[in-house]
């Protein structure tokens, strides 16, 4: 008989919210979070209702500003920028370091907020916080040579980022931008993460970091956050449709920009025999339900190896652990060890279910579907945002799953017979952030890897965004503007010598690091 699960002690949303009120009373009210601008927390904007993808229960919603207020916030950030950019580097380092100490002190609360707001399993939520803190510490320790002979931008950096990595991508970038001498603006993601970001920004603001955190509709606020003349740089992480609009705006204005967009990251299998290694890595590829910019949703497999591939792949995907990220057998048990919980919301779950059904209706072959009986849920909980892993063979060209990233636990497999077909299938989305080619022969990898249109190509191992000194960017439509990572992140948000050409993917040139 299956054990009835219960919520881990002290982890309810009400518990997390009360801890936020205690930790940062200036940024939270009993019924809402506040916006941060003009160096103060403000109860402006219309707070929208929001629900947790974990169980459909209510969580904090974004307090959406109107366009006029957003413009005032941007102008106030410019005033902060003009003061902050002249602060000695030693003082900026000290304030950012103090912020990191505060974030580390509230590590578990920040992680708990990530669980409830965006559905991250506990292990991955902690990792998101730790990567932010540890990554920025690397910059604090080594910032001097990175900013030597460089100056802050003329205006603040504006950040518009997706919801999936609020700490290790967004907060990390914001603190490095501030360390480099810039005031920083960020829009909270519409789909989740507002409480986590609010707490992180409250801790930074206490140390005097010039942050602005606002919520609102991307369409309504873009005129202020992207096009406003006060903005010195736009940093965007998100999908290609929204990114294309941002790219057009910044190109028209000649504005410094970093635009990370999605691509179909692919894993190729060619003349390969180390199947135990593949079996071991497949569960890791499903971390956070493949809701990552560096997820691998497409396998491109040599046809004559397909049977061996399935023998390695299917046991691995059957081993995936899915369910409520805080459901335990006894209230004081450790957090459950899960590969993923829900996707970001019920609407996304429905979209994925519909895409899979449509692909199968048009000819895709379902090779695997997870079983709900294997998932871990609380009795009677809402499961509308959960999607079991699905694997499809040969999605039809008419399906979005053929050419676009699903951003969910859906794998697709394409069979090929020649190296030319392999490369064409791996380059299906006009550029990607990462790719991997599994092949036994080093010479084959050396010959084929340069023809794969991805910024990072691994041999038999997954590539990631990276930390510390590892560079990051994208080819084709997956990236616009300056590349980042390591010293390049600092260079992207500072001014160098006259006529400097930053490494990146720009409308008039592409320069590799």
Beta-sheet strand order (sheet of 256-261): 40-42, 35-37, 211-214, 184-187, 157-160, 233-238, 256-261, 479-482, 504-505, 510-511
Whether residue 508 is predicted with pLDDT greater than 90 in this model: the reply is no
Asked whether residue 390 falls in the same domain as residue 327, the answer is yes
User: Does residue 4 belong to any structural domain of this protein?
Assistant: no
Asked whether residue 218 falls in the same domain as residue 102, the answer is yes
User: Does residue 15 belong to any structural domain of this protein?
Assistant: no
Q: Per mean pLDDT, which range of 293-302, 313-322, 451-460, 466-475 is the poorest?
A: 466-475
C-alpha to C-alpha distances, 15 to 11, 106, 194, nearest whole angstrom: 6, 14, 17
Asked whether residue 280 falls in the same domain as residue 229, the answer is no
Average pLDDT on 37-49 reads 95
Asked whether residue 233 falls in the same domain as residue 121, the answer is yes
pLDDT class of 2 with cuts at 50, 70, 90 = low
Residue 206 confidence (pLDDT): 98
Asked whether residue 373 falls in the same domain as residue 487, the answer is no
pLDDT class of 35 with cuts at 50, 70, 90 = very high
User: Does residue 341 belong to any structural domain of this protein?
Assistant: yes
Tokens of 165: 């990595």
Q: Per mean pLDDT, which range of 60-64, 240-244, 397-401, 427-431 is the poorest?
A: 240-244
C-alpha to C-alpha distances, 191 to 43, 60, 161, 423, nearest whole angstrom: 20, 11, 11, 35
Q: How many residues does the chain have?
A: 513
User: How many domains does the structure of the chain reveal?
Assistant: 2
Residue 467 confidence (pLDDT): 87
User: Does residue 11 belong to any structural domain of this protein?
Assistant: no
Whether residue 1 is predicted with pLDDT greater than 50 in this model: the reply is no
Residue 218 confidence (pLDDT): 87
Whether residue 16 is predicted with pLDDT greater than 50 in this model: the reply is yes
Cβ-contact 59, 195 below 8 angstroms: yes
User: Does residue 3 belong to any structural domain of this protein?
Assistant: no
Of all residues in the chain, the percent with pLDDT exceeding 90 is 91
Q: How many Å is the Cα radius of gyration of the chain?
A: 23
Asked whether residue 198 falls in the same domain as residue 98, the answer is yes
Asked whether residue 172 falls in the same domain as residue 126, the answer is yes
User: Does residue 340 belong to any structural domain of this protein?
Assistant: yes
Average pLDDT on 274-291 reads 97
pTM over 0.95: yes
CATH of the domain at 78: 3.40.605.10
Of all residues in the chain, the percent with pLDDT exceeding 70 is 100
Residue 264 confidence (pLDDT): 95
User: Does residue 444 belong to any structural domain of this protein?
Assistant: yes
Q: Residues near 447 by Cβ (< 8 Å), separated by ≥ 6?
A: none
Q: Residues near 292 by Cβ (< 8 Å), separated by ≥ 6?
A: 164, 165
Asked whether residue 166 falls in the same domain as residue 182, the answer is yes
Residue 256 confidence (pLDDT): 93
Asked whether residue 130 falls in the same domain as residue 235, the answer is yes
Q: What's the whole-number average pLDDT of the chain?
A: 96
Asked whether residue 484 falls in the same domain as residue 425, the answer is no
Residue 246 confidence (pLDDT): 81
Cβ-contact 265, 475 below 8 angstroms: no
CATH of the domain at 438: 3.40.309.10
Asked whether residue 253 falls in the same domain as residue 270, the answer is no
User: Does residue 285 belong to any structural domain of this protein?
Assistant: yes
User: Half-sphere exposure of residue 445, counting CA atoms within 13 Å on the CB side?
Assistant: 17
Residue ranges making up the domain that contains 336: 266-459
- The pLDDT tens digits for 173-222 are 999 999 999 999 999 999 999 999 999 999 999 999 999 999 999 889 99
Cβ-contact 428, 416 below 8 angstroms: no
Asked whether residue 105 falls in the same domain as residue 157, the answer is yes
3-state SS of 264-295 is CCEEEECCCCCHHHHHHHHHHHCHHHHCCCCC
Alpha carbon distance 238, 261 (integer Å) = 5
- The pLDDT tens digits for 226-268 are 999 999 999 999 887 777 778 777 877 788 999 998 889 999 9
For residue 116, which of 72, 52, 159, 169 has the smallest C-alpha distance? 52
């Amino acid at each position: 008989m299956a054990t009835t699960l219960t919520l881990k002690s002290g982890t309810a949303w009400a518990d997390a919210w009360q801890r936020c009120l205690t930790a940062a009373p200036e940024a939270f009210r009993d019924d809402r979070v506040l916006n941060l601008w003009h160096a103060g927390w403000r109860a402006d904007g219309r707070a929208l209702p929001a629900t947790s993808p974990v169980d459909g229960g209510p969580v904090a919603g974004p307090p959406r500003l109107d366009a006029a207020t957003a413009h005032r916030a941007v102008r106030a950030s410019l005033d902060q920028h003009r003061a902050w950019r002249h602060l000695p580097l030693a003082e900026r380092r000290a304030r950012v370091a103090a912020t990191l100490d505060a974030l580390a002190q509230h590590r578990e609360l920040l992680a708990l907020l990530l669980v409830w707001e965006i559905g991250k399993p506990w292990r991955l939520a902690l990792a998101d916080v730790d990567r932010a803190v540890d990554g920025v510490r690397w910059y604090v320790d080594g910032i001097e040579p990175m900013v030597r002979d460089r100056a802050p931008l003329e205006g603040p950096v504006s950040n518009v980022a997706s919801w999936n990595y609020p700490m290790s991508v967004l907060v990390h970038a914001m603190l490095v931008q501030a360390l480099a001498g810039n005031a920083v603006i960020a829009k909270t993601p519409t789909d989740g993460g507002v409480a986590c970001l609010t707490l992180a920004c409250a801790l930074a603001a206490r140390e005097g970091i010039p942050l602005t955190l606002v919520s609102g509709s991307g369409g309504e606020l873009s005129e202020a956050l992207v096009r406003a003349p006060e903005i010195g740089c736009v940093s965007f992480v998100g999908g290609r449709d929204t990114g294309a609009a941002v790219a057009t705006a910044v190109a028209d204005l000649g504005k410094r920009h970093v635009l990370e967009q999605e691509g179909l990251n692919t894993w190729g299998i060619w003349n390969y025999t180390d199947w135990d290694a593949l079996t071991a890595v497949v569960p890791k590829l499903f971390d956070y339900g493949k809701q990552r910019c560096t997820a691998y949703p497409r396998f491109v497999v040599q046809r004559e190896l397909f049977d061996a591939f399935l023998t390695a792949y299917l046991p691995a995907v059957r081993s995936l652990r899915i369910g409520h990220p805080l459901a335990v057998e006894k209230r004081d048990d450790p957090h459950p060890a899960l590969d993923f919980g829900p996707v970001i919301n019920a609407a996304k779950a429905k979209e994925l279910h519909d895409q899979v059904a449509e692909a199968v209706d048009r000819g895709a072959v379902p090779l695997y579907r997870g079983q709900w009986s294997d998932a871990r849920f609380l009795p009677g909980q809402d499961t509308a945002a959960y999607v079991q892993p699905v694997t499809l063979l040969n999605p039809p060209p008419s399906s979005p799953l053929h050419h676009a990233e699903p951003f969910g636990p859906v794998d697709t497999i394409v069979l090929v017979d020649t190296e030319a077909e392999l490369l064409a299938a791996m380059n299906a989305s006009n550029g990607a952030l990462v790719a991997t080619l599994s092949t036994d022969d080093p010479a084959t990898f050396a010959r084929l890897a340069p023809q794969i249109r991805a910024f990072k190509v691994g041999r038999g191992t997954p590539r990631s965004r990276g930390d510390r000194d590892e560079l990051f960017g994208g080819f084709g439509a997956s990236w616009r503007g300056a590349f980042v990572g390591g010293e390049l992140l600092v260079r992207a948000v500072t001014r160098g010598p006259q006529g400097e050409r930053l490494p990146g993917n720009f409308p008039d040139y592409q320069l590799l690091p």
